Amino acid sequence: RNLPEMQSNLNFPWLIYNAYKTMVRRNVNMEKLKDDYFLTNISRRQSAHLQKFPDTKLINLGIGDTTMPIPKSITSSMVERADALSTIEGYSGYGPEQGEKALKDAIANTFYGDLGIKSSEVFISDGSQTDISRLQLLLGSSVSIAVQDPSYPAYVDTGVVVGQTNVFQESEGKYGNIEYMKCFADNDFFPDLSTASRTDIIFFCSPNNPTGSTATREQLAQLVEFSRKNGSIIVYDAAYAAYISDDCPRSIFEIPGAKEVAIEISSFSKFAGFTGVRLGWTVVPSELLYSNGFPVIKDFDRLVCTCSNGTSNISQAGGLACLSPEGLKSIQTIIDFYKENARLIIEIFTSLGFKAYGGKNAPYVWVHFPGKRSWDVFTEILEKAHIVTIPGSGFGPCGQGYIRFSSFARREDIIEASWRLKNLYS
């Protein structure tokens, strides 16, 4: 993303020694946050590289941002809804904070039809990153959290912001008071729950960002059992569920007993190319209860109504069109296109003798560079091949020595990238 000039100056406010200062104390939790948000840092490195090499064709296999156009049948629904806003009969103001009923019904039927999830348990938002923040606001500072290590940085960073963690421990590469559940190649990137400490909340993402691994039905049954035994709540991130093409569950609610211990978040971003349109959802089953027996859904509903005035009516019209038979069919074609890109990336690295993971049920390929530091490999690939990637260490200590390649590129860029990588590593 191109950071506005003013934001890049935010790094130096304390340099203006004689500037007027307020008496307001900085939020101690914000002070704990390490650097920038990790993925914003990548965007900054990307912009700096472009300034240094303005004439090179930079290939972006970094940020997981979709690149293929949204199918016309979906965008025309958004155009229609936007046009209607300029008419008396078509105009609509504030909608239900929980989301429009038609979209909630469509999500419940399309993704959870035979899983007994009701439309009233679906809450629409402007995307999963917002929902992660709202859930952290709901859960508060006194809960303990566990994350897969490595995993999407938003779980940890929002945990820091709301005060769930201690400071960042440089020597360990992690924040205090978070249970980092190690995920390695030799445990199939699924944590060893027999050695994991109990926490109140377990953030779990499958298909996983960044490893691209997908938990099996048996593994998720273990996770649900682990949570039920410990009285924990799973926040299950299904942002990439649409990429699953084998028997792995697409929803945690496929697992018996999950409704009493899990919340699921998902998104239209990587499913339908809505990364810029902004649309996601959270499912909070009415069976999920706090230790005092109070239903979590009641608090979440109150929080949603307090913190948001709803989601864009235009985005929701687009979401509804995505879930029509025509929309689903055209979206699947694009998902298959990205998955073929991932297969080509795996093929490149396998042919070069690297161990490459993921990519089968996910748009991310996780490549191991044994004995190397992720940022060094990131810099080498950027400077010698002009390809942006994501250094694995940014996702947690277990990401050290790995690089994440995203498959959200045009096919010609994937092919060009394969030539460049073969030149670099053969």
Ligand X SMILES: Cc1ncc(COP(=O)(O)O)c(/C=N/[C@@H](CCC(=O)O)C(=O)O)c1O
Does 127 bind ligand X (CB under 6 A)? Our answer is: yes
Nearer to ligand X, 97 or 237 (CB): 237
Q: Which amino acid is at 11?
A: N
CA angle at 212 for the pair 206 and 218, rounded to the nearest 5°: 45
Of residues 286, 258, 311, 304, the one with CA closest to residue 102: 311
Nearer to ligand X, 49 or 422 (CB): 49
Residues of this chain, 58-97, that bind ligand X according to CB under 6 A: 63-64
Per-residue CA distances from 278 to 5, 186, 196, 309, 393 (Å): 24, 36, 35, 15, 28
Does 211 bind ligand X (CB under 6 A)? Our answer is: no
Over the window 8 to 47, marking each residue x when it contacts ligand X by CB under 6 A and - when it does not, the resulting string is -------------------------------x--------
Does 129 bind ligand X (CB under 6 A)? Our answer is: yes
Nearer to ligand X, 128 or 400 (CB): 128
Does 341 bind ligand X (CB under 6 A)? Our answer is: no
Structure tokens belonging to residue 113? 């039809």
Q: What is the rounded CA–CA span in Å between residue 343 and residue 340?
A: 5
Axis crossing angle, helix 374-385 with helix 38-52, rounded to the nearest 10 = 30
Least distance between ligand X and beta carbon 392 (Å)? 12
What phi, psi does 410 have (nearest 5°)?
-70, 150
Structure tokens belonging to residue 225? 């059992």
Does 275 bind ligand X (CB under 6 A)? Our answer is: yes
Per-residue CA distances from 357 to 223, 238, 346, 350, 360 (Å): 22, 19, 8, 10, 8
Burial code (b: 16+ CB inside 10 Å, e: under 16) for 344-371 equals bbbebbeeeebebbbbbbbbbbbbbbee
Nearer to ligand X, 63 or 344 (CB): 63
Q: What is the rounded CA–CA span in Å between residue 364 and residue 207?
A: 9
Nearer to ligand X, 166 or 323 (CB): 323
Does 209 bind ligand X (CB under 6 A)? Our answer is: yes
Q: Which amino acid is at 75?
A: T
Does 322 bind ligand X (CB under 6 A)? Our answer is: no
Least distance between ligand X and beta carbon 291 (Å)? 27
Does 128 bind ligand X (CB under 6 A)? Our answer is: yes
Does 403 bind ligand X (CB under 6 A)? Our answer is: no
**Contacting ligand X (CB under 6 A), which of 111, 152, 357, 402?**
152
Of residues 181, 209, 184, the one with CA closest to residue 195: 181
Interface segment toward ligand X; rule CB under 6 A; list 46-54, 127-135, 169-177, 181-189: 127-135
Interface segment toward ligand X; rule CB under 6 A; list 217-225, 267-275, 331-339, 370-378: 267-275
Number of residues interacting with ligand X: please give it, by CB under 6 A: 15
Least distance between ligand X and beta carbon 409 (Å)? 13
Nearer to ligand X, 58 or 289 (CB): 58
Residues of this chain, 229-248, that bind ligand X according to CB under 6 A: 237, 239
Nearer to ligand X, 116 or 136 (CB): 136
Q: What is the rounded CA–CA span in Å between residue 83 and residue 78?
A: 8
Q: What is the rounded CA–CA span in Å between residue 45 and residue 48?
A: 5
Nearer to ligand X, 7 or 92 (CB): 7
Q: What is the rounded CA–CA span in Å between residue 406 and residue 392?
A: 12
Binding site for ligand X (CB under 6 A): 39, 63-64, 127-129, 152, 205, 209, 237, 239, 267, 269, 275, 280
